[in-house]
Each structure stands twice: as structure tokens, then as C-alpha cells.
Amino acid sequence: MRETVTDQKRQILRQYFGYDAFRTGQEELIDSLLAGRDVLGIMPTGAGKSLCYQIPALMMEGITLVISPLISLMKDQVGALNEAGVHAAYLNSSLTPGQYQKALAYAAAGRYKLIYVAPERLVTEDFLRFALHARISMVAVDEAHCVSQWGQDFRPSYLKIPEFIRRLPARPVLGAFTATATAQVRDDVIRLLALNHPKVLTTGFDRPNLYFAVQNPADPYRAAREFLDGHKGDSGIIYCLTRKGVEEVCENLIRDGFLATRYHAGLSDEERRRNQDDFIYDRRRIMVATNAFGMGIDKSDVRFVLHYNMPKNIESYYQEAGRAGRDGEPADCLLFYRPQDVVTNRLFIENNRDNEELDPAAREEVMERDQERLRRMVGYCYTEGCLREYLLAYFGEKTDGPCHNCSGCDAGGEAVDVTEEARAILTAAAYSGGRYGAGVLADTVRGARTEKILRFGMDRCPSYGILAGVAPDRIRRIITGLQGRGCLVVTGDRYALVGPGPKAGAVLNGEERILMKLPQEEVKAKKTKAKKAAGALEGADASLFERLRALRLEIARAEGVPPYFVFSDKTLAHMCIVRPHSKEEMLTVSGVGAYKYEKYGEKFLDCIRRETGAPERRKR
């Protein structure tokens, strides 16, 4: 009996999704759901949560409802499912009343195995009329953390889910899935969704294919350009903290000839949809956006995520950065940090109106928590050790030492004694009384004669010009390092001013020395590590890859679907290595299932045959 279920699962995995093996955690969650036991799956973005309910949905009798917070998410997932040969539909406010009624009628007639629905819809009359008479065997709740007000994206409509389930004639098995859940959020999810003795499974949060880097560039736009030069032809997202930031960066990039587009809450629905589609369909490779963009975008070939500003907490950072490299191929996650970002984030936290329905004490608590999260985020920017270690430790995971795949590890080298330089900077900070920004402090110790320095009288500071020969980058690094050690603190309500912190005294009076690991001089953005997806391919393989990519784009345009719906970068790269010349060989390529083969297999085979000649000449 067990044997056959296992076979069936694998067969579905192969046939519909084209994969050979389950990833960590998937099989356990699938088995549990099939056995009728609720689950809570906590897995990082890109780990493959969707399959955990899609596969049982295909194996169970009846319908699976998938509750999902965002329209774009549903559209994407339903599109991908239909592309793979699964009957699925979504019900949300993007449908006209006519379309909605039609979809409901089809649903009632049993046409769909999976139905994606927005939480607000659940307890509406129309929907209930359908649901009460349908055979709903499973309910999967995506982004389940939205039910908790301690999470970062609380959505009150999620609280309607248990009410809806109680009204169903038979209780379906429940699966809840999320990428971010601290212990508190996890407990909330179980309690508020009323999961019944669920199997709780947390897989590792590590994303080994992502390269993490932090920089503190003097000129962020220039640094961004250099970074983009290392990513020609790649898809990527640039996150800015503010709408204004998005506008500026996007305009500059377009002026400089990049195919960029933008997304933030201040744009019309129409423009947002258009821009998002331009990005997804590879008409515009670079998306410049606020954090309003991304939830539910599962474009799998995003090769980089650049944070132009530091986000408000590590949860957001890891989720946004995690949109890179979902196909498992190498991708870059670079974060720019400036003290001004701390100030902007503090203002956001203080002016946050999301929690207005909370009582004052609870609101105070939430705000304090947010400030603490911000401090941990700042800590990330200051880490001189392994960045991955820091991130995973934040989520309560231990690592076996440094990862050798982040800028912290690459900086390598021994910690050097920078006490004298530190004292010069701290002297300037003390002299300024914390009234100026980091730039003025750096200019002071370097002995610059700028208008500001003269106006502020910093040329009379005892440490003026002491570090005249030292590279500006190094001074910036040391200032950042001093902030990380509590020797300098960011003050100021609107501007990031830097003053002496609690630990400054001990350094100034010689009680403490400062050791820092400084990266080799002049760390430049172009040194980022991740290779392009095809970067591992060379010569003939690389040129075949480009051919296949072009063919994919042609097919995608003709069918009006995003290119990665056809095949992922990873699948194309795999084809270049396997070089299939027959159907059987093609079906061994990861990501090529029977259904996709029927649709596209021959075209890709032809292209490979043309490029690589007859099979007998091929060496295996």
C-alpha cells in the first residue's frame, strides 16, 4: 500500500512538475496531509512550499482551496499550474462579476482541482453557497504568518479562515505554510487557524546558492552601476526604502540605458500591473521597487536582489533577498547601508499606523519590538564575520562555521589594529558634539577643506588632518565598525548625525584597543561572487544556453506567458549539459515533465540537434 502511494507521488512530481526528487521536508508534509493530519510548514522562500499542497491536491478526491493574500500570487501560481497541465482557477477581485460567477459555476461543476481564493471572499454569500455544497478535501493557507499581528504583514481577513472552516459540512485537512515564523508567530498560526495537532516542520533557512554582501558605498548610484555591469542580461530587483528613492534610481537607470521599470504603492493599479508584467515577461530586466513589490512574485530566474537601502528588519530583508535564485542557481544579494537608513526606518516605525486597532500598551510593545528588530538589522550591516551565520542565527539556526560564500567571509584576513585611526575619528565626533554626519567626520580627519568643514569650524578640531593619507573607503569602514561597537551612535530625528557612543570613552582614554577585519582595500561591487546561471557553462555549452534562452523567449512571447513558465534557467542549463537527442533523454532533464514535453519538447530538441550535430558524433 505504502509503496504505491510513494510511487504515485513521485509519478506526479515527474509528470506535472518534471522533477526527480523531493526536496527536504516536502515528502513529510505531503504524507502528513495525505494521512489527514494538519501541517504547519515553515520553509524559506524558494524551498518549494507550493508542491507540498499541490501534490496531495492532485492525489485527493475533491477540491483543494488555497488561501493566498495577493492577487499577483494567485495569478502566477494558477498560470504555472495550468501550464503544467493541472486544472486550477482563482477567485478574487481582479475578475469581473461575470467572470467570477462563471468561475464559481465551473468550480461547482468540479472542473478545478485547485482553487485559489482571497481570504476576504471566504465568508461572502456567493462563495459560501458554493463551498457548502462542494467537496472540499483540503484547505492550504499560504503566507500563514499573515494571521498573526506579531508578524510583519498582519492581515485581519486571515482571521476569517477558521470561521469559514467551521461552517463547512466536513472539516477538510488544513495545511499552513510560511517562510518566516518566530516562535511567537508559529504559536499564533497554530492557535488562530485552529490547526489540529499539526505536524510542524521547519526546514533549514539556509539558501546556499545565494551570495550575501554588504557595502557602505560613498556613492550608491555609482556602486549600483558597477554591480549591474556584472549582471548584464540578468533579471533583478532593486529595493529602495521610499517611493522617491524608487523614482530617482529608476529614472537614472533608464537615462543610462538600462531596461528598468518601477513599482510602488503610489502608482496606479494599471501602471503597477503593467510594470510587473514587463518584469515578469522579461521585457524589462530590472525592477526598482519599494517593499510593496514581490510578495507572490515567484519569477524563478531573478539573479540578483540589490537593497539600495537597509530594510527595517531581518525578516523583511531575508524574504526580499530570498526572491533571488529560486531556481537554485547562483544569485547575488547585495545590501547598501547608510546611517540615514536607520533614521528613515525609525521614522517609519514611529509613524506606523498599521496597529491602530491595538490598545496603547500593546502598540507600545509592538513598537519596541520593531525598534529591536531594526537594531538587529543594523547589526547585520556592521558584522565583520560571516553574514550567513548572522542571518541564520537570527532565525535560531546554528551553522558549522563560516560559509565562504559571503562578503564577510571573503573579506577574510586578520583583524588589524585601527586604534589610532579610531581615536582620531572619535575625537572629531566628540569635538562636533554629535551635530554632524559621518561624511563631515571623515572629511575632518582627512583634512579636507570643504565649505562645510570651514563653516562648522571642524578645521580647528584637534584631529583635523591626522589621517590625511588614509583611503576614504578605509575611513568609512572604520566609522561603520565603530558604530557596530557602540563607539559611535546615530543621533538626529531627520538626518543621520553621528556622535560619540557609550563605548567611546574607553577608546579615547587608551583603555581599549580596536581590532577590525577590514576588507582588502577598495572593495568594489564588481567583486560580487555569484556567477550567472549560465556562468558555470563554458564555450559551446554557453552558446547553446543562449540559443535555448532565445527560443524560450520566442515561445513565451507567442503564448503570452512569462519565459520561466516555459522552462527555468536551471532546466535550460541542465539541457546544455545533458544535450538530449531523444524524447527519453529529454525527459531526464530536471524540470521537463511529460506535459511540458508534449508542448515544447520537440522544439527544444530540434534546437539542440541543430546546434550540436547528429547524436552519433556526440561523446557522452
Closest separation in Å from C-beta 20 to ligand ADP:
7
210: contact with Zn ion by CB under 5 A: no
* Candidate segments 38-46, 395-403, 436-444, 575-583, binder of ligand ADP by CB under 6 A: 38-46
Q: Given the complex with ligand ADP, which of 32 and 50 has the nearer CB atom?
A: 50
DSSP H/E element including 42: strand 39-42
Angle 8-11-13 (CA atoms, 0-180°, nearest 5)?
A: 110
403: contact with Zn ion by CB under 5 A: yes
* Candidate segments 119-127, 191-199, 384-392, 428-436, binder of Zn ion by CB under 5 A: 384-392
Alpha-carbon distance of 488 to 423, in angstroms, equals 11
* CA–centroid distance for 515 within its chain: 33
386: contact with Zn ion by CB under 5 A: yes
Question: Which of Zn ion, ligand ADP, none does residue 29 bind to, with CB < 5 to 8 Å depending on kind?
Answer: none
Q: Given the complex with ligand ADP, which of 26 and 345 has the nearer CB atom?
A: 26
406: contact with Zn ion by CB under 5 A: yes
Single out the residue of 230, 194, 371 nearest to residue 306, CA to CA. 230
Q: Given the complex with ligand ADP, which of 47 and 176 has the nearer CB atom?
A: 47
3-state secondary structure of 286: strand
- In this structure, what DSSP letter does residue 600 have? I
298: contact with ligand ADP by CB under 6 A: yes
Single out the residue of 441, 410, 389 nearest to residue 523, CA to CA. 410
45: contact with ligand ADP by CB under 6 A: yes
Closest separation in Å from C-beta 214 to ligand ADP:
24
Closest separation in Å from C-beta 171 to ligand ADP:
25
Q: How is residue 40 written as a grid cell?
A: 504547519
475: contact with ligand ADP by CB under 6 A: no
Closest separation in Å from C-beta 204 to Zn ion:
15
Alpha-carbon distance of 598 to 85, in angstroms, equals 11
50: contact with ligand ADP by CB under 6 A: yes
Alpha-carbon distance of 362 to 39, in angstroms, equals 30
Question: Which of Zn ion, ligand ADP, none does residue 302 bind to, with CB < 5 to 8 Å depending on kind?
Answer: none
Q: Which of 9, 16, 40, 46 binds ligand ADP (CB under 6 A)?
A: 46
Closest separation in Å from C-beta 115 to ligand ADP:
18
Question: Which of ligand ADP, Zn ion, none does residue 51 bind to, with CB < 5 to 8 Å depending on kind?
Answer: ligand ADP
Alpha-carbon distance of 488 to 122, in angstroms, equals 52
Closest separation in Å from C-beta 555 to ligand ADP:
18
Question: Which of Zn ion, ligand ADP, none does residue 204 bind to, with CB < 5 to 8 Å depending on kind?
Answer: none
217: contact with ligand ADP by CB under 6 A: no
Q: Which of 48, 236, 408, 562 binds ligand ADP (CB under 6 A)?
A: 48
Closest separation in Å from C-beta 142 to ligand ADP:
8
9: contact with Zn ion by CB under 5 A: no
- In this structure, what DSSP letter does residue 300 have? T
Q: Which of 149, 261, 300, 480 binds ligand ADP (CB under 6 A)?
A: 300
Characterize 459-468 residue by residue with b for buried, 16 or more Cβ atoms within 10 angstroms of its Cβ, and e for exposed: bebebbebbe
Residues from 540 through 579 that contact ligand ADP (CB under 6 A): 568
Strand partners, 215: 336
Closest separation in Å from C-beta 387 to Zn ion:
6
3-state secondary structure of 615: helix
Find where cell 572619535 sits.
426
Closest separation in Å from C-beta 24 to ligand ADP:
9
Question: Which of Zn ion, ligand ADP, none does residue 406 bind to, with CB < 5 to 8 Å depending on kind?
Answer: Zn ion
Angle 177-181-184 (CA atoms, 0-180°, nearest 5)?
A: 125
Closest separation in Å from C-beta 331 to ligand ADP:
13
Q: Given the complex with ligand ADP, which of 30 and 424 has the nearer CB atom?
A: 30
Closest separation in Å from C-beta 327 to Zn ion:
22
Q: SS in 3 state form for 466-528?
A: CCCCCCHHHHHHHHHHHHHCCCEEEECCCCCEEEECCCHHHHHCCCCCCEECCCCCCCCHHHC
3-state secondary structure of 381: helix
Q: Given the complex with ligand ADP, which of 303 and 326 has the nearer CB atom?
A: 326
182: contact with ligand ADP by CB under 6 A: no
Q: Which of 43, 213, 224, 566 binds ligand ADP (CB under 6 A)?
A: 43
445: contact with Zn ion by CB under 5 A: no
What track of x and - describes contact with ligand ADP for positions 1 through 30 (by CB under 6 A)?
Answer: ------------------x--xx--x----
Question: Which of Zn ion, ligand ADP, none does residue 47 bind to, with CB < 5 to 8 Å depending on kind?
Answer: ligand ADP
Angle 442-447-449 (CA atoms, 0-180°, nearest 5)?
A: 100
3-state secondary structure of 152: coil
End-to-end CA distance of the chain: 39
Single out the residue of 605, 570, 573, 569 nearest to residue 587, CA to CA. 605
Residue 155 · residue 119 · CB < 8 Å: yes
64: contact with ligand ADP by CB under 6 A: no
Question: Which of Zn ion, ligand ADP, none does residue 19 bind to, with CB < 5 to 8 Å depending on kind?
Answer: ligand ADP
3-state secondary structure of 137: strand
Question: Which of Zn ion, ligand ADP, none does residue 22 bind to, with CB < 5 to 8 Å depending on kind?
Answer: ligand ADP
3-state secondary structure of 143: coil
CA 575, 579, 580, 581: dihedral to nearest 10 degrees? 140
Single out the residue of 8, 79, 19, 54 nearest to residue 593, CA to CA. 19
Point out the residue whose Cβ comes nearest to ligand ADP: 48
For 164, list phi and psi in degrees, rounded to 5: -60, -45
The alpha carbons of the chain give a radius of gyration, in whole angstroms, of 27
Q: Given the complex with ligand ADP, which of 50 and 316 has the nearer CB atom?
A: 50
Total site size for ligand ADP, rule CB under 6 A: 17
Find where cell 578640531 sits.
461
Q: SS in 3 state form for 168-213?
A: CCCCCEEEEEECCCCHHHHHHHHHHCCCCCCEEEECCCCCCCEEEE
Q: Given the complex with ligand ADP, which of 50 and 261 has the nearer CB atom?
A: 50
Question: Which of ligand ADP, Zn ion, none does residue 151 bind to, with CB < 5 to 8 Å depending on kind?
Answer: none
Question: Which of Zn ion, ligand ADP, none does residue 571 bind to, with CB < 5 to 8 Å depending on kind?
Answer: none
Alpha-carbon distance of 106 to 103, in angstroms, equals 5
In the complex, which residues of this chain contact Zn ion (CB under 5 A)?
A: 386, 388, 402-403, 406, 409
In the complex, which residues of this chain contact ligand ADP (CB under 6 A)?
A: 19, 22-23, 26, 43, 45-51, 298, 300, 326-327, 568
